[in-house]
Structures are given as C-alpha cells and as structure tokens.
Amino acid sequence: MKAEHAPTIRRTEFMPLPWTVLRVDLHFSLHPEATVVTSRLACVRNRAVDAGALVLDGDELETLALTIDGCDPQPGTVRRSASRIELDIDGDEAELEIVTRINPRANSTLSGLYQSRGGYFTQCEAEGFRRITWFPDRPDVMARFTVTVEGERASCPVLLSNGNLVEEGELPDGRHYARWEDPFPKPCYLFALVAADLVVLERRELTASGREVLLQVWVEAGNLDRAGHAMDALVHAMRWDEETFGLELDLDRYMIVAVSDFNMGAMENKGLNIFNTKYVLAKPDTATDADYEHIESVVAHEYFHNWTGNRVTCRDWFQLTLKEGLTVFRDQQFSADMLAAAAGAEAAASARAVKRIDDVRVLRAAQFPEDAGPMAHPIRPDSYQEINNFYTATVYEKGAEVIRMLHTLLGPEGFRNGMDLYFSYHDGSAVTCDDFVEAMSEANGRDLDQFMLWYSQAGTPRVKAEGVWDGAAGSYLLTVSQYTPPTPGQAEKQALVIPLAIGLIGPDGEDRPLQLEGEAHPGGTTRVLELSSESRQWRFVGLDAEPVPSLLRGFSAPVILEVEEDDARLAFRMAHDADACNRWDAAQRYAERVLLALAAAAADGRAMAVPQGFVDAFARLLRDQRLDAAFRAQALSLPAEAYLLERMQPADPAALRAAQIHLGMTLGSMLADDLRALVEGLVEPAEYRYHPADAGRRALINLALRYLCAARDARGVALAAQRFAEAGNMTDRFGALAALVHGAVAEAEGALAAFYRRYRDDALVLDKWFALQAGMWRRDPAAPPTLARVRALLADAAFSLANPNKVYALLGSFFRANPAEFHLPDGSGYALWAEQVIALDAANPQVAARMARALENWRRFTPALQAAMRPQLERVRDAEGLSADVGEIIDKALAD
Ligand code: TRP
Ligand code: ZN
C-alpha cells in the first residue's frame, strides 16, 4: 500500500531562487557501474531576492564530497535530505565543488545518465540532471557549461557534449578524454553527454549570413545508409527557419545522435540533440512513408527548439507549452510548407490540407479524450505531482492549436512581428506564457487578455451554430454560441475568443462571396468570424439562394462543432465543400453517424444496415479522379476508434467493433470492382522516393487493399498477397501485410512469419511487427483472443520490457489501438494491464505511467466493464513501492 501521496506542486507558488549558478564545470569519469562526476559551480546570490539558502536538488546520488570555496561547510549551515541540500552561505558569491558517484548500468529509468547497447547517454528534461549531480534543477537557472568526458577508448571512441570541442587527448589504461564548451548559457535540462561507439554522417552548410556550420548525424556502425533522410531534414529545417522567421543556427556544430533506448521521441539538448532511433533511421526497405514524414517533422521540431525553447526557455515547468506548443506549431507549418513545395503549385493546397487533417486526427483521437477525462488540464497546468505526466497531447497539440489561433487572428505578418518582438525582449532568458502573448499583443496593438483564457481553461469547447434563411431578403442569419463543459477542479468556464473560419456554399456547390450586413462589398469566400461572447449573430446578405454553411474551415479552433446536418447535407459537403479539411470532416461526420447507429443496433442485437446514401457518397469520393490520392486516402479512412469511443455514451468497444467490421465488409464488397481497379490502375514509379505524390498513391492503394481484405474479396486478397511478396519498399510491403492481417485472411499468418524471418535482426522493423499483431481484430468469435497472442509475444526473444519502443509497440498498441480486444468482458485484458504496469513501474516509471493512462477514462465505459476495471486500478494503486508517476495517474482516475 502506498504510504503517502507525492506532494502537489502549484503554479502560483513559484518563487525565484535566492542563489543561482553562472558557470558549471563538469568532469565525468565514466565507468559502467561507478561513474564519478565532479562538478564545480560558480554561484551568485540573486539580487532580486532578500536572503535565503542555496538549494540543490538530487535524486539517487551517492555524494563523495561537497566543499564551499575549498572548505567543508561550517557545522549547522547544511540541511540535507535524500532529494535536497540547503546551504547557508555568507557573502554573495561561492564556488561549490561536488563529487557524486552514479551507476549508469543500473539506471533503467532512462532519465539521467544511462547505458544503452554499451554506450552512455543522458536525458535530463525535465528533472534528470539531478540524477547526475547536485544542482538547482530548474529551467530558470541558466549557466555556461564546460564538460570533460573521460572514458574507455575501445568501447566509447566517441565522446560528445554540448557546444564546441576544445580539447581531446589520450590517457593511461586505454582511456581518453574530450573537453566541450557551450558558449550559450542554458538550463541544466538541456545538458547532454554521449560516449559510445558510433559513426557519423557529416555535412557542411552555410547559414544565411554566410557562417559555415558542421552538421552531424551519429548512428551505430551499419546504419549510415539510414541517416541521409534525417540529414536532409535538418538542412531543410535550417533553411525554413531562416526564411520564415529570420532565425539562424547560432552554433558552429550541430549534432544529432540516435539511441535505441529512449523514453520519448527526441530531445533538443543544445547543439547535441538525442533522438530515438525511430525518428532518425530510414531507408526504403525498412521505413514507411509515414516514418519518413515523422522523421522530417521530429528533426525539424528539435531544431526549431534551438530558438523556441533553448535561446528563450521556460521560467518553470508550468510554462512547458511556451516551448512545446509553439514548437509543434512551427513543425506543423514546416511540414505543410515542405509538402506543398514538393507537390507543386497546383496540388499545394491539397497537400497542405492533408497535413492539417493528420494534425486534426491526432488532436481528436488523443487530446479530446484527455480533455474530457480525469487528467484534463489547461495547456498551462495549475498543478502537478509528477511533471513527466504533463508532456501531454494537451500541452503539445492543443498548445499548438492555441498558437495557430494567434496566427489566424493576427495574420502571418502580425505573427512574425510578434515573434520578432518576443526574441528582442527575451533572448537569453527564462520566461512565461504571458510574456509570449504580451509580445504578440504589443507588436499588433491588440488586447489579448481574453485570449489568455485558452491558457487557463481546460476542456474542449462546444460551438453550436444555427442558420436561418430569409428568401425574400436574400439573407442568412447565423447564430453561434459556445459552451465549455466542466473539468476536474474547474466547474465554471468563461467565454473564449474563438476564430471561426466560414464559407457559404450555394446549391450549385460553388462558394458564395461573403458580405455581412452593413458592408458595402463582399469580402472573399472564406472569412474568419470572431466569437468572443457566449453567443453572437452574423447576417450575410446578397445571397441568391439558401446556402449550406461550411463552418470551422481548416479546423480554425480546437473545438467540437455542433451543427444539425442531415445525411443529404453531409453528402453534399462531401462532394462540394471547397475547404478540403471540411470536405474530409463531412465524410468523418457521416461515417461517425453511420458507425454509431450500427453500434447501437449491435448492442441491442438488432440487424445492422448501412444506409445506401453513405455508400454512394463514399463511392463518389473514391471515383473522383480530380482529387489527389493522398486526400482521397484521408477522406476514405474511417474516424479513429479512440475518437468514436469518446463520442459513444457509454463507450462499448465490442459493439463499436461489430459496427466497424460490418461497415468495412459492406464498403469493401459493394465497391470491390472500384477498389481493385484503383489498386491496379495507380502506377507506381519503379524506384522508391519519399515524395508526397508517390506517398499519396501508396496510401490510397494500401487503403483499398484494406477494404478488399476486410470484405474477404478473393481477388483483392490475392492482390494484397502478391503486392506483399513483390514489394520493393517497406510502405508497400507493410501496407499489404497490414491489409492481410486486418482482414484476418488465411494468408495473414504466413505473411507475418515471412516478414519476421526477413527482419528478425532489425529492431525498428520488428516494432511494426509487434504493433500490427497487438492491433489484430477478431473476425471469427471462435478464434483465440488477441490477448493470447500478446501474452505469447511478451515472451518472444525479440521483445524486451526494458526498451520503450517495444513496450509502446506491443502493449501501447494493444491497450490503446485495439479497444475491443483489450476491453474483454471477463476483465482479462485489465489483469494484463495491471500486471504489466506494475512490472514496468519497478524499472521505468515514465513509461509505466504512459501505459497506466490507457485506463484513465474507465468511467466512460459500460457499467459491466467499469466493474471489471476498478479492481485492477485498485490493484495498481495498492502495489508496493508505486512511483509518483503512476500514483498520480491512478489517484486521479479513481478520484470521485
Ligand atoms: N523536449 C522533448 C521534445 O522535443 C520531449 C522529451 C524528450 C522529453 N525526452 C523526454 C520529455 C523525456 C520528458 C522526458 O518534445
Ligand atoms: Zn518539443
């Protein structure tokens, strides 16, 4: 039984520290089980604070020595606990020397200094530096670092840290050292060290101002042929930030290092980014188009942090979205621009929409459920127990939506002016979200006080819209209102500023010019209305016929739009909406309506019937050759299961799965001729290249195969099997395999085995193999449950609970991406969940907490499932030695 709760940290309790650190000189003597870290800190009093002790944080440190200005501390001037040292020091300056001993080999948390495949790596965000040495571990302490790394030459020929290499040399006993100097002051969460056996891909580039910089991608030997795409992405990101925001690389050397064991995607350490191999390594035979796309965006994301995160950083961790929301927005814009540029002028708008649709899908599937559950928090949280639990879809994705709304409200130039002002005021400092929005406000002469509510209010706002047509006057009166449901700890909500992009479609399918009552001229066919009160009306005039409104174009705000549209109107917008994002959304809404009706029928044991109108609308999109393939692939993909469950009251995964199986079979069999023709008709270039047009064709073909296999169409299954056998790249090979497995056709098992044989030594490809099987649907009720397969795979030689990628692939996919098989009525899925969360927690609390979150929305499910979940939640809560990470998730889930 957990004895006590971890303390709650509150945003309003922020206090500046009485002492800060100007310079840090670190020396690492690396040994697998006994690394000795010597730290010299030049400390000064903070003039803004009256008085107080020098406070240092530590976590699991063995302290060998601590001196102040060369002397032992005076008796009575030191207060120590396991995690904190307070020193009373006379005067305004002090030099501390601290020696600690740590055990990288035993560090299974992957936070602090740890070992991976014989090398040493660090991860310090958010609070990992305190696991290396005693230090005031907060982002507002910004110091200049010099680092000496000393290690064994044979096992660690490469010794890296932040900044510039200033010295290196040999030492006795087969050891060597390297000394690094980072010219920029930084918080300790951006410190990094790598000592490993790696090889490098290098490129020299000139920055906009003509400075030569050295770019490096470090990988294990044998992976150099997979590093080129990441390097290209880095160069593209550099150019984009110069052109879009006038921001240049400020270092002479910029390094990316790939590591196999990593809790998250990647980390923006100053000049020494550390990446999960998943977001670096790609070649056509092992990586899919989606992998190529993710690598490009993560490389760019970390690169963009150099300005939005590193040069200007966060004052405290409550401000996390200051760097993450802004940097996600920047990487989204970058990816959209890259796709548009590759697609060419004609297809640019569609390419951008496809990217936007991807982002909206993620938001709806991951962030909306979070915002409706026990972990709901504003993008700038008010409290936390464990900061690692707040690297969330809300802070990242909704945070990016909030920045996007500023961009929409202020326009691209206004936004750029705000960014310029932000950097001119805050370069080199640790600031708050208010500082950012104030710079935007000042640069544009616009009051953004009400807009700040987006930073403090949790929950997804509902926007309701109703239109009334006045045929005699040729006018259309639109009434829009907003409402945000209560979230834990926030019962009352105020009206937000909501930018609502809208268009009015005429009966011929063409957009009408938008003219508001009182205006002399119409102003475009898409306009942004601003809803800033609970309810407001707009009257559009000069219309020749009753229009169909297209609201929230481009998904202009992170809200749920509630508008009454009958099937015919959804089909009309599916066919005609000029806004590609809304055209996709019309298809999603129609599919959602059909699926939820089928699920209700399944739950009541009634017969399921798919409305012909939906099949027809779907077929029209499928056949529309004018639409590019990537868009068609988006529009024909059904809404994510996680999103649909969120819309179901109560969530009934078995009924929803029955509905999905039925709809997939119906579409696949009714449209089999079209689908087969599409697979055979879309010609692919012989040589794989990562290009949006090619990727779009491959995506559409793979989707068509999926429907054909779902329908067990014999010729379609044969096509999938043939494409699997003959594929020249991973996108085609895995797409065909996934279609066979999804359809649970006879060919699936053989294909899975062949895939395993081909890639048995390739960890990243095997992650796909694990994830695919964890997501398997049961189409035959007599077949063994997927749970049995997951249990068998846990024992596979290629699986390891110590590797986060493996855990996310197998357990993450099963718990999150396969609701019907996870939420078995007998509760056996929940027993597996509890058992694995407890096992993981003993080694890696961050990863365990991520898995634990799979059950946080347990109260949304049917009473029978809730009753099966509760005891397993309680079992985890009561586990011996539970971490604060998992404890916070479970306590919040169980709270009334
Ligand atoms: N700052 C990283 C990013 O770019 C996130 C991150 C990487 C992280 N590793 C982490 C956060 C470990 C917490 C713990 O988004
Ligand atoms: Zn980030």
Q: What is the pLDDT of residues 374-387, one digit of tens each?
A: 999 999 999 999 99
Is the shortest distance between the CB of 126 and ligand 1 below 6 Å? Answer: yes
Task: Please tell me whether the overall predicted TM-score, pTM, comes out greater than 0.85 for this model.
Answer: yes
Closest by CA to 187, choosing from 30, 320, 69, is 320
Instruction: Provide mean pLDDT across the span 438-465.
Output: 98
Q: Which atom of ligand 1 is nearest to the CA of 846?
A: 14
pLDDT over 90 percentage in the chain: 98
At 71, phi and psi to the nearest 5? -120, 155
CB of 396 closer than 8 Å to CB of 106? no
Give the position of tokens 């009051």.
447
Average pLDDT over residues 262-282: 99
Residue with tokens 């009306």: 537
What confidence tens digit (pLDDT) does each residue in 833-863 have? Answer: 999 999 999 999 999 999 999 999 999 999 9
- Closest ligand to 804 CA? 1
Would you place residue 896 in the very low, low, confident or very high pLDDT band (cuts 50, 70, 90)? Answer: confident
302 as an active site residue: the answer is: yes
Of ligand 1's listed atoms, the one at least distance from the Cα of 396 is: 15
Which of 220, 302, 397, 646 is catalytic? The answer is 302
Q: What gap in Å lies between CA 574 and CA 567, rounded to an integer? A: 10
Distances (CA, A) of 255 to 262, 275, 310, 390: 17, 10, 15, 27
Enumerate the domain spans of the chain.
19-105+121-195, 313-456, 462-557
Give the residue, out of 125, 850, 883, with the most ligand 1 atoms within 8 A of its beta carbon, to mutate for a pocket test.
125
Each residue's pLDDT tens digit, 90-147: 999 999 999 999 999 999 999 999 999 999 999 999 999 999 999 999 999 999 999 9
Tell me, using a 6 A CB cutoff, whether residue 268 lines ligand 1.
yes
Collect residues with CB below 5 Å from ion ligand 2.
324, 327
Whether the per-residue pLDDT at 684 is higher than 80: the answer is no
- With a 6 Å cutoff on the Cβ, whether 125 touches ligand 1 is yes
Q: Is 123 in the pocket of ligand 1 (CB under 6 A)?
A: yes
Residues pairing with 151 in the sheet: 176
Confidence of residue 3 (pLDDT cuts 50, 70, 90): very low
- Nearest ligand 1 atom, CA 305: 4
Same fold, 19-105+121-195 and 462-557: yes
Q: What tokens were used for 712?
A: 């067990």
Looking at the CA of 390, name the nearest ligand.
Answer: 1
In CATH, which of 3.40.50.300, 3.30.70.240, 1.20.1250.20, 2.60.40.1840 is domain 462-557? Answer: 2.60.40.1840
For the CA of 329, the nearest ligand: 2
CATH class belonging to 313-456? mainly alpha
Q: How confident is the model at residue 4 (pLDDT cuts 50, 70, 90)?
A: low
Task: Check pocket membership of 391 for ligand 1, CB cut-off 6 A.
Answer: yes
Mean pLDDT of 401-407: 99
What's the token pair of residue 378? 């504003």
Q: How far is the CA of 440 from the centre of ligand 2 (A)?
A: 21
Q: What is the mean pLDDT of the chain?
A: 97
Looking at all shown ligands, the one closest to residue 325's CA atom is 2
- Asked whether the predicted pLDDT for residue 814 surpasses 70, the reply is yes
pLDDT over 50 at 2, yes or no = no
Kindly give the distance from the C-alpha atom of residue 328 to the centroid of ligand 2, in angstroms, as a whole number: 7
Q: Please give the average per-residue pLDDT across 69-80, as a whole number.
A: 96
DSSP secondary structure string for all residues of 380-413: S-SEES-GGGG--HIIIIIHHHHHHHHHHHHHHH
CA atoms within 13 A on the CB side of 463: 26
Instruction: Say if strands 212-219 and 175-181 run parallel, antiparallel, or are unpaired.
Output: unpaired
Residue 1, pLDDT score: 37
Beta bridge partners of 116: 119
Backbone φ and ψ for 346, nearest 5 degrees, come out as -70, -35
Interval between CA 464 and ligand 2 midpoint (Å) = 33
Give residue-wise pLDDT tens across range 196-244: 999 999 999 999 999 999 999 999 999 999 999 999 999 999 999 999 9
For the Cβ of 194 lying below 6 angstroms from any atom of ligand 1, the answer is no
The contacts of residue 862 (CB under 8 Å, 6+ apart) are 650, 651, 652
CA distance 92 to 561: 58
Mean pLDDT throughout 568-593?
Answer: 98
- Among 190, 86, 68, smallest CA distance to 139 is for 190
Q: What is the pLDDT of residues 610-625, one digit of tens each?
A: 999 999 999 999 999 9
Torsion sign (Cα): 544, 550, 556, 559 = positive
**Whether residue 886 has its Cβ less than 6 Å from ligand 1:** no
Collapsing DSSP states into helix, strand and coil, what is residue 650? coil
Give the model confidence (pLDDT) of 734-760 as tens digits. 999 999 999 999 999 999 999 999 999
Q: How far is CA 484 from the centre of its chain?
A: 24
The answer, yes or no, to whether residue 245 has pLDDT greater than 70, is: yes
- Tokens read off for 291: 């992998």
* Short-list 94, 53, 95, CA closest to 76: 53
What are the tens digits of pLDDT across the range 773-805?
A: 999 999 999 999 999 999 999 999 999 999 999
What's the gap in Å between 265 CA and the centre of ligand 1?
Answer: 7
Residue whose CA is at the smallest distance from ligand 1 atom 14:
125
Residue 267 beta carbon below 6 angstroms from any ligand 1 atom:
yes
Which fold is adopted by the domain 19-105+121-195?
A: Immunoglobulin-like (2.60.40)
The percentage of residues in the chain with a pLDDT greater than 70, rounded to a whole number, is 100
259 lines ligand 1 (CB under 6 A): no
How many residues does this entry show for the chain? 896
State pLDDT tens for residues 715-735: 999 999 999 999 999 999 999
Provide the 10 A C-beta neighbour count for residue 523: 12
Q: How many CB atoms lie within 10 A of CB 649?
A: 8
- How far is Cα 73 from Cα 460, in angstroms, rounded to an integer? 53
